[in-house]
Amino acid sequence: MQNTENHTDKKKVAFYTLGCKLNYSETSTISRMFESKGYEKVEFNQKPDIFIINTCSVTENADKKCKKIVKEANKINPDGYVTIIGCYAQLKPQEIADIEGVDAVLGAAEKFQLIDLLDGFVKEPSGQKAKVYNQNIEEAIDYHTSYSLNDRTRTFLKVQDGCDYPCAYCTIPLARGASRSDSIANVVKAAQEIAASGVKEIVLTGVNIGDFGLRNGTREETFFDLVKALDEVEGINRFRISSIEPNLLTDEIIAFVAQSKRFVPHFHIPLQSGSNKVLGLMRRRYKRELYVDRVQKIKELMPDCCIGVDVIVGHPGETEEEFLETYNFLNELPISYLHVFTYSERENTSAIGIKPVVPQSKRAERSKMLHILSDKKRRYFYEQQLGKSFEVLFEEDVEDGQMQGFTENYVRVTAKYDPLLINETKQVALVSINEKMLVEVQEAEVLFESH
């Protein structure tokens, strides 16, 4: 009977994450901190006592989403304790504190201390303003190892935080602070813990992971050193580099990945614009010629390598001609897909002062053009892989009797459901592309011998 009472007394906590994979890795780590202190983790709609909302502030839309989630939390449990953390919480704490139903707001330096700071999560009397714990971003100097463990197949491992690049459109340095990293020894230890949990693929994530190795403003190690050390970690089949700046993606990293035991042939390289003039306005640290050079080097050593690209449309000062320069530049490059972002005005960024401003209708039109181009690029890349053999890591999601997975070079495949294949890597031949833009695989060797 005593055990039942203890279980009933457990406070229930639920999490909601907006934004990037880095946020997801941090939410997962914070949730494990709660569980280690005796809290029960539940789904958002299971009437939790505490709601933790981890926010993003890359676009205006992310701010609106935060308000919507708070409203939903208040509806699910009007007596629940609502805490907001993340980038939006660092940038606009007072604005969030004014949202009806918010109990506490914690900035970048405080979010990993929230269990201690909020002392039992007791709601203030009605009408009391939310508690705000938010130091100046210069105080966010600690590094917190984080990784997600909610997916049996793949984990996002944070290796770096913050950014020293003052890009004209970006609030991330204001929200996350200066570039800082874990040590290689700690990252390897985290990777070994993840391997012990049965996960087969680790995606390395951070704000600017190519800048890995900075601690207290001093470069102690390099991203290349990290890649070499992780390649020796037993139990992990695949390491994937989530996103790396073109000026930090060196020849030695590319060459190492090309012959690596565990790093897969897949790079995501932010471009943002194919116009040198716009790259200058954006305060990016390279010209388009360097980007071409990086792509050519990758394709020379890994012809089947998947290359993803971030691009921003409608940045202030981007003319129709410069957008078309970007479009044509991307069209001619042997890349595999695009992540298209529509520029949105952010306070305290230098882009706000750049003229002329691109009308919203033009931004939407340019975004649509690049989304169509991305679909064409992905289809063409998939077509180039047909008839070839790859290893697929199969995932747990099953839909209409089919399961899915990714090849090492990030081709999404579909196959008939087989429970034995979940979280397993199998060699398959890629046969055809279906109407859902998934690649169907050949029944070959051991894979489907029983079907």
Of residues 4 and 180, more confidence is placed in 180
What pLDDT sits at residue 429? 95
pLDDT at 4: 40
Longest dimension (CA), the chain: 74
Residue 75 has pLDDT above 80, yes or no: yes
Q: pLDDT for 156-173, tens place per residue?
A: 999 999 999 999 999 888
For the chain, give the percent of residues with pLDDT over 70. Answer: 93
> What are the pLDDT digits (tens) for 204-240?
999 999 999 998 888 999 999 999 999 999 999 999 9
* Euclidean distance between CA atoms 446 and 426, whole angstroms: 9
pLDDT (0 to 100) of residue 298: 98
Q: Residue 3 pLDDT more than 70?
A: no
Residue 448 has a pLDDT of 43
Asked whether 85 and 53 are in contact (CB, 8 A), the reply is yes
What confidence category does residue 445 fall into, taking pLDDT thresholds of 50, 70 and 90?
Answer: low
Per-residue confidence at 136, pLDDT binned at 50, 70, 90?
A: confident
Residue 1 has pLDDT above 70, yes or no: no
The confidence score (pLDDT) of residue 108 equals 85
Instruction: Please report the pLDDT score of residue 202 as a whole number.
Output: 96
Report in angstroms the alpha-carbon separations of 440 from 180, 303, 385, 392.
42, 21, 12, 12
All residues at 6 or more sequence positions from 218 whose CB lies less than 8 Å from its CB, including other chains: none
User: In this predicted model, which residue has the larger pLDDT, 229 or 446?
Assistant: 229
Q: What percent of the chain has pLDDT over 90?
A: 72
Confidence of residue 107 (pLDDT cuts 50, 70, 90): confident
Q: What is the amino acid identity at position 110?
A: E
User: DSSP assignment of 8-50, as one string?
Assistant: HHSPEEEEEE-S-HHHHHHHHHHHHHHHHTTPEE--TTS--SE
Check residue 443 and give its pLDDT. 60
What pLDDT, on a 0 to 100 scale, did the predictor assign at position 60? 66
Q: What pLDDT, on the 0 to 100 scale, is given for residue 173?
A: 87
Indicate if the pLDDT at residue 289 is higher than 70.
yes
Strands 306-313 and 266-272: parallel
Whether 25 shows a pLDDT value over 80: the answer reads yes
pLDDT digits (tens, 9 = 90+) for 382-429: 999 999 999 999 998 888 899 999 999 999 999 999 999 999 999 999
Average pLDDT over residues 232-257: 97
What average pLDDT is seen over the chain? 91
**Residue in 11, 9, 7 with CA at minimum distance from that of residue 120:** 11
